[in-house]
Amino acid sequence: SQTIHQWPATLVQPVGSPLSLECTVEGTSNPNLYWYRQAAGRGLQLLFYSVGIGQISSEVPQNLSASRPQDRQFILSSKKLLLSDSGFYLCASGLAHEQFFGPGTRLTVL
């Protein structure tokens, strides 16, 4: 079975600072990888997905970006955080018909 690792678990960052969240996957090869955000009182919003190394699809225009430097590594970044970037960020792996989620990162932008 797959295991999704995310770190850090929690993060508090000032407005305007950079961001790097990392996700790694074990137990599978060449997975589809996804970044979701769950904002307070809202559902899961798909931010990015990747079907392979260097291949990124963006669902929502924003000041975030994603990269996939290795098969089982997916990174979410920002050059300058906004207050609205606060939320719970989830990495997922799998196919469209079933995804496995990591434990998430709680990001608070102050």
- Residues lying near another protein in the complex (CB under 8 A) are found at 4, 32, 34, 36, 41-46, 49, 51, 57, 59, 88, 90, 92, 96-104, 106
CB of 77 to another protein, least distance (A): 20
Strand pairing of 87-95 and 98-101? Answer: antiparallel
Q: Which is nearer to another protein, 61 or 80 (CB)?
A: 61
CB of 80 to another protein, least distance (A): 26
Q: Which is nearer to another protein, 7 or 15 (CB)?
A: 7
Q: Which is nearer to another protein, 18 or 52 (CB)?
A: 52
CB of 36 to another protein, least distance (A): 8
Residue 33 class from Cβ within 10 Å (0-12 exposed, 13-18 middle, 19+ buried)? buried
In this structure, the dihedral spanned by the alpha carbons of residues 78, 81, 86 and 92, taken in order and rounded to 10 degrees, is 0
Name the DSSP class of 70. Answer: E
